Chain A
Amino acid sequence: MMDSVNGLVSTFEIFFKWLLVLGVLVYIAYALIAIRQVGLMTDSYNTPREDFVKWLARFNFGLALLVLVIVLVVL
């Protein structure tokens, strides 16, 4: 009985781990597209503080990479 419960928990953990990895990968794809879109928008429309927005988009991507590393290292 205990073995089957442990097995279930272990399967759930593996599923959860890959779910997290997949989630972060999807987020990284989004962050890359966002960098591209911000670039296109700032090329078309120059407004003050657009450098900050470009920086924000890159920061978002960097953060996603960092989280991916954390997920892979910790789990």
Chain B
Amino acid sequence: MSTKKELPIPPEMQKGVLLKEMTVDDELVQNLEELKESESLGALSVFPQQVTFETQEEDEQVVLVMRKAPVTNIKWALIAGLLALMPAFIVVLGVLSDYLDSSYLLVAMIVWELFVVGYIFEEFLRWFFNIYIVTDRRVVDIDYPNFLWREVSDVDLLKIQDVTTRNQGIMAAIFNFGDIWVLSAAEMTTIEYLAVKEADNVAGIIRLLAQARERVVRGEGGTNDG
């Protein structure tokens, strides 16, 4: 049975008319509060401040903002570390010193390190701008595969048919992250949230928000916002 509960939103941030009027059940509030305790460096924020996006409606409340778990950056960080050390190996092995002056070698090393910085920069941007947003109306997936390509997809909470989670691998088990697929009934669109922290909890929140939104639209829980 649903009961009206207080959501853990700071009063100054409450702009989502829909969410405020929703008949929110205990489970949703509890899940959000649990998730708030696991907030981490940019990878997971519950009712985040200063977050807006291009197609956001005026009274749309951002509930969750996520990125891939920070630990997923270890792979490229290790590659970058190895690439940064490569010039040192070349100097030690003396591969090019027979053909090139030492000043040329020094400059070549500096240029190489510049490209390593570029690789780090690009990978960081890819992590930073791959954003997953859950609002009181929809789920949004912003993909940023590289600096020339951006893809934004969203699914209305009312059109969600299925929410699936998958946790696999040692890292996922240790650091508690997983993938979420949100399948839309109408357009057969699938939203992919990859390597998000507390995936099961987040999936639960999406399901509960979808149910709450459905109740609102049916007129069972406050405003009738179609």
The reply to whether the CB of B115 lies closer than 8 angstroms to some CB of chain A is yes
Residue of B nearest to A24 (CB): B111
**Among the listed A9, A27, A30, A41, which residue makes an inter-chain contact with B129, where contact means beta carbons less than 8 Å apart?**
A41
Residue of B nearest to A67 (CB): B114
A71 close to B111 (CB less than 8 A):
yes
Question: Given contacts A45-B131, A53-B128, A56-B124, are A67 and B54 in contact (CB under 8 A)?
Answer: no
Across the A-B interface, how many residue pairs have beta carbons closer than 8 Å? 87
Docked complex: A5-45 residues within 8 A CB-CB of B: 9, 12-13, 16-17, 20, 23-24, 27, 30-31, 33-34, 37-38, 41, 44-45
Residue of A nearest to B111 (CB): A20
Q: Mark B93-107, 1 if CB is under 8 A from A, else 0.
A: 000000111011011
**Among the listed A33, A45, A70, which residue makes an inter-chain contact with B110, where contact means beta carbons less than 8 Å apart?**
A70
CB distance from A25 to the nearest CB of B (A): 11
**Among the listed B50, B115, B125, B129, which residue makes an inter-chain contact with A23, where contact means beta carbons less than 8 Å apart?**
B115
B111 close to A44 (CB less than 8 A):
no
A45 close to B111 (CB less than 8 A):
no
CA distance A33 to B147 in the complex (A): 8
A37 close to B148 (CB less than 8 A):
yes
Contacts of B118 in A (CB 8 A): 27, 30-31, 60
A47 close to B50 (CB less than 8 A):
yes
CA distance A16 to B147 in the complex (A): 28
> Chain A, interface size: which category?
20 to 34
Contacts of A23 in B (CB 8 A): 111, 115
B107 close to A20 (CB less than 8 A):
yes
**30 A-B interface contacts by CB (under 8 A):** A13-B100, A16-B100, A17-B104, A24-B111, A27-B114, A27-B118, A30-B118, A30-B147, A31-B118, A34-B122, A37-B125, A38-B125, A45-B51, A45-B53, A45-B142, A46-B52, A46-B53, A47-B42, A47-B48, A48-B42, A48-B48, A53-B128, A56-B124, A57-B121, A67-B110, A70-B107, A74-B103, A74-B106, A75-B103, A75-B104
Residues in chain A within 8 A of chain B (CB atoms): 9, 12-13, 16-17, 20, 23-24, 27, 30-31, 33-34, 37-38, 41, 44-49, 53, 56-57, 60, 63-64, 67, 70-71, 74-75
